[in-house]
Structure 1
Amino acid sequence: MSNRYELPPVDFGSDLVRYAFEIERLRGNLGGGTTPARTLTELHALFRVVMSVISARIEGNRTTVYDALADIPAVASGRPATSDSLREITNILAGIDFIDTTDPARPLTHVLIRELHRITVDGLHREGDRTPGEYRANEVSINGSAHTPPSHVYVHAEMSELLDFANRDMPTHEQMLHAAIAHHRFVWIHPFTNGNGRVSRLFTYAMLRRNGFDSVPGYRAVNPTAVFGNDRDGYYAALEAADDLSPTGTVAWCEFFVRGLRHDLERLVQMQDFAFVMDELIDPAIDRLTTSGAATAAESAALKIAVRHGVVKAGDLEPALPGSPSQRSVTIRSLVERGILVHDERGPRFYRVSLARAPLGQFVIRQLDALGYLPRILKDDEPSGPA
C-alpha cells in the first residue's frame, strides 16, 4: 500500500490530537441519556433529510430543507419527484437508507461504492451520470481545483487500495483520522464522471458506522455531511490543501474534519437530555405550529402529552382533549390526516408524534436553527409558509 495511506505524524500537543480525544470522550457519553430511543429515532429521521439537503446544497442544489420535508413523503409514497433538484435529494436519502440497512461490520467493497453511485445519480439530468454505477472511463478535471485526478486507467486499482485502507481495523483513537483520510483520498481519485462529492460523503458515513457509530440506538445521525455544510468554502480549501498528499496538508484536512465532527457530537450528546429536547426543541416547535395556525391550542397540548409518552392511545390525550371519546377521535383523525400524528406499529389505535414530517418537522427545523444547530449552508432557507 502506498504511503498516501499512512497516518501522518502528529504532534501530541496539537489541536488535532486534542479534538480526537474530545471525540472519544463524547462518544463514551452516547447512549447514557434520558431521551427515549423512539424520540432519538424520530430526530434521526429528521436529520437524514437535513443531511441529504446539505449534501445536495454543497453541489449547488437550492431546494430548501422546508420544501424537502413537505415533498419527500409524496415521493416516498410512489409519486415521481416534481423536479430534478428534489430527486437529487431523495436519491441521497435512498443512499443513506441503503447504508443503514447494510451490516456495518461488512467490508466496504467496489460493489457497495458503485451501488451508492447508481442510487445517487439515478434518473438525474443536471447532476446525473451517463454510466451510473460504473467507474469513469475518461479523464476528468475538478472545477476550481488545481488537482488532476489519476487517469481512468488506474481508477480501479486506486479504489482497491483505498478500500483496503478503509477496511483496516484501527485503534479507537485513530478512527477519526482514518475516516478523514479516506474521504479525501476518495475525492482525490474522483472515481466517477459525476457524483463524486455526494458518494464520498455517503462513503464516509458508512466508514463512521463501521467505526462504532451504529452501535447506539438513535445515533446514526452522526454524519460528516454536517461538518462540510457548516463551512463549504473551508471544506473545499481543506481538501485542496491535502491534494499534494503531504503530511502537512493531510494534517490540515484531518484537523478540519475532526474539529467539525467534535462540534457535531457535542450537539448530539446534548440531545440525550430529554428535558433539554422537550423544553428547548420540541415544545417550542409545537408552539410555533400553533402560532402559525396549523394546530389549535388543544391539539398542541395533546401533542406535548404524546411526545412525553412516546406512544399514546386516545384515552391518554383526555387531559388535553376533554369531551366524548367520539369528539376526541375526530381530533385525532384530523391530526393523523395532517401527518402530525402517525399510527404506531403496535396497531391502529396507537399513535405517536411525527417529528420528521411536515408540518411539525418544519417547525422543529426552525427551532434547531434558533438553537444554532443548523449548518451555515442552510441559514438562508426560509419556509414557504409562516413559521
Structure 2
Amino acid sequence: MDIFVQNLHIWIFLGIFTGMSLNIDTIKITPQILAIIAEIDEFKGAWKALGTLAPERLSALRRVATIESIGSSTRIEGSKLSDSEVDKLLSNIEIQQFETRDEQEVASYAEAIETVFASADAITLTENHIKQLHRDLLRHSTKDERHRGEYKTGTNHVSAFDADGNEIGVVFETATPFDTPRLMTELVEWTNTTLEQKTLHPLLVAAIFTVVFLEIHPFQDGNGRLSRILTTLILIRNGYEYVPYSSLESVIEQSKEGYYLALRRTQGTIRTNAPDWQPWLTFFLRALQQQKARLEIKMNREKLLMAQLSPLSVAIVDLIKRHGQLKNAQIVELTGANRNTVKKHLSELVTGNHIAKQGIGKGTIYIIQ
C-alpha cells in the first residue's frame, strides 16, 4: 500500500472523539471514500506548484469561481438570477440598494464569502463567528432584520410545497428552538476538538459538520447558504487553499436532487442509535472531487493559454472573463491597444476557440467559449 494512503488510513481510524451526542462510530470508511480523500489531498499538496500563474491570472480565475459560487448558492435556495446577472449586480455593488429579494441575497452572500476568503485565518469556528457570518449573509435582506445573527425562536421544519406554493407536508423536522443552542455548542466543540486532535480526517469532519448543522437548522432562514460558507471556511482553514478558485456551490447546484436526497437520507438517521452517514459522506466527497477536477482542467487550460498566446491576447481573455462579455470598443478602451491590433487578436482568439463571437456589426460581443 502507498505510504501516503497507509498514513491516511491510520489517521482516519486512529480514534474518534465522541463529545457530541451523536454516534460517529457508525462511519464506514470504504475503499472508495479512502481513494477520493487521497486524490483530493494529493491535489492539495500539489496546489503550490499548480498555482504558479501570474497574480492577475489567479485573480481572474477566482472572480469567475466567486460569481459561480454566489449565483449557484442563492439559486439552490430559490433565487432566479443568472451568473451574468450576478456579475452585473456586483459590478455596481456600491449602490447599496437592492430592489428584489434575489438581489439582496446575492449582495449579502458576496460580502460574506469575500470575508471568508480574505480573513479565513482569523475566523475561528465559534458560535459568535457563525452568528456574525449569518448577520453578514442577511445584511441586505429587509425581511430578515429581526432574526439575523440570532438562533431561531420558532420552528423551521423543512417542508414540501406544491406548484402553487402550498405546503403539502413536512419533509424533515429540525431541532427545536429550545434544543438549538445546546446542539450548536456540542457541534462546534466537537468539530474544533476533532480537528485539533486529528482524530478524524478534516474532509470527514467538514462533511459531518455540514450535515449536522443542516439537521439542526439553527437559524430561522439562510441555513443552506450559511452551511456552504462555513464549509468553505473549514476547508480553507485546514489547508485546502485552492477552494476559492473553483466553485463547490456550482457542483452542488448541478447535482441538486442528489444533494437533497443525500442530506435527507443521513439527516433522518442522525439522532438514532445507528446513523447512516454514508449517503452524505459519499455525496460530499464526490462533490469535492468534482470541484478539484474542474480546477485541474482550468489550470491546464490556463497554462496552455499562457504558452500559446501573446500577452495582449491573454489580457483580452482575462478582461472578457472578468466582465462576462465585451465589445471591441470596450476592449480597446480597457487595454489601450490599437483598434486594428485588438481586432486581429480577437479574430485569432475566436479561431482558436478561446473566446466566442456573438452578433454582427456594432452589436458584436465577445464571450468566453
- Fold match by TM threshold 0.5: yes
Which residue of the partner structure matches residue 107 of structure 1?
A: 124
Aligned partner (choices 151, 155, 164) of residue 189 of structure 2: 164
Which residue of the partner structure matches residue 294 of structure 1?
A: 327
Which residue of the partner structure matches residue 346 of structure 1?
A: none
Letter in 1 for 2:190: F
Count of aligned residue pairs for this structure pair: 306
Aligned-pair distance for 1:16?
1.7
Seen in structure 2, the aligned counterparts of structure 1 residues 284 and 27 have a Cα distance that, compared at 3 Å, is: same
Measured against aligned partners, the alpha-carbon deviations of 1:79-107 in whole angstroms (never above 9, x if no partner) come to: 42242211210100111122123242652
* Whole-angstrom distance in 2 between the partners of 1:296 and 1:229: 35
Query: Where does 1:324-363 land on structure 2 (aligned, <5 Å)?
Result: none
* Whole-angstrom distance in 2 between the partners of 1:113 and 1:287: 36
Aligned partner (choices 173, 192, 199) of residue 226 of structure 2: 199
> Which 4+ residue blocks in structure 1 deviate beyond 4 angstroms?
170-173, 277-289, 317-322
Aligned-pair distance for 1:60?
0.7
Give TM-score, length-normalised by structure 1. 0.69
Aligned-pair distance for 1:211?
1.2
Aligned-pair distance for 1:288?
10
Aligned-pair distance for 1:298?
8.3
Asked whether the 8 Å contact 1:105–1:210 carries over to 2, the reply is no
Residue 39 (1) aligns with residue 63 (2): no
Asked whether the 8 Å contact 1:7–1:178 carries over to 2, the reply is no
* Whole-angstrom distance in 1 between the partners of 2:112 and 2:289: 24
* Whole-angstrom distance in 1 between the partners of 2:317 and 2:285: 31
Residue 275 (1) aligns with residue 303 (2): yes
Aligned partner (choices 210, 227, 238) of residue 183 of structure 1: 210
Aligned-pair distance for 1:221?
2.7
Residue 137 (1) aligns with residue 153 (2): yes
Query: Where does 1:12-23 land on structure 2 (aligned, <5 Å)?
Result: 12-13=30-31, 15-23=32-40
Asked whether the 8 Å contact 1:139–1:152 carries over to 2, the reply is yes
Aligned partner (choices 161, 171, 174) of residue 149 of structure 1: 174
Aligned partner (choices 262, 267, 270) of residue 238 of structure 1: 262
Which residue of the partner structure matches residue 90 of structure 1?
A: 107
Query: Which blocks of at least 5 consecutive residues in structure 1 are unaligned?
Result: 304-313, 323-361, 368-387
Asked whether the 8 Å contact 1:129–1:195 carries over to 2, the reply is no
Which residue of the partner structure matches residue 235 of structure 2?
A: 208
Letter in 2 for 1:73: S
Letter in 2 for 1:133: G
Seen in structure 2, the aligned counterparts of structure 1 residues 106 and 55 have a Cα distance that, compared at 3 Å, is: closer
Letter in 2 for 1:139: T
Measured against aligned partners, the alpha-carbon deviations of 1:268-314 in whole angstroms (never above 9, x if no partner) come to: 1233333335579967787999xx871159849x95xxxxxxxxxx6
Which residue of the partner structure matches residue 49 of structure 1?
A: 67
Seen in structure 2, the aligned counterparts of structure 1 residues 158 and 287 have a Cα distance that, compared at 3 Å, is: closer
Letter in 1 for 2:183: E
Query: Where does 1:226-265 land on structure 2 (aligned, <5 Å)?
Result: 226-243=250-267, 244-245=269-270, 249-265=276-292
CA RMSD of aligned residues (A): 3.4
Seen in structure 2, the aligned counterparts of structure 1 residues 318 and 277 have a Cα distance that, compared at 3 Å, is: same
Query: Which blocks of at least 5 consecutive residues in structure 2 are unaligned?
Result: 1-18, 161-169, 343-364
Q: Compare the two structures and name the one with the higher helix fraction.
A: 2
Letter in 2 for 1:295: N
Asked whether the 8 Å contact 1:110–1:160 carries over to 2, the reply is yes
Greater shift after overlay, 172-181 or 24-33? 172-181
Letter in 2 for 1:20: I
Seen in structure 2, the aligned counterparts of structure 1 residues 193 and 319 have a Cα distance that, compared at 3 Å, is: closer
Asked whether the 8 Å contact 1:52–1:92 carries over to 2, the reply is yes
Measured against aligned partners, the alpha-carbon deviations of 1:356-376 in whole angstroms (never above 9, x if no partner) come to: xxxxxx966x53xxxxxxxxx
Aligned-pair distance for 1:3?
4.8
Aligned-pair distance for 1:171?
4.3
* Whole-angstrom distance in 2 between the partners of 1:8 and 1:22: 24
Measured against aligned partners, the alpha-carbon deviations of 1:16-50 in whole angstroms (never above 9, x if no partner) come to: 22211111122222121352233112221221121
Give TM-score, length-normalised by structure 2. 0.72
Letter in 2 for 1:135: Y
Aligned partner of residue 104 in structure 2, secondary structure = helix
* Whole-angstrom distance in 2 between the partners of 1:261 and 1:288: 24
Aligned partner of residue 245 in structure 2, secondary structure = coil
Aligned partner (choices 201, 205, 214) of residue 174 of structure 1: 201
Aligned-pair distance for 1:226?
2.7
Asked whether the 8 Å contact 1:20–1:173 carries over to 2, the reply is no
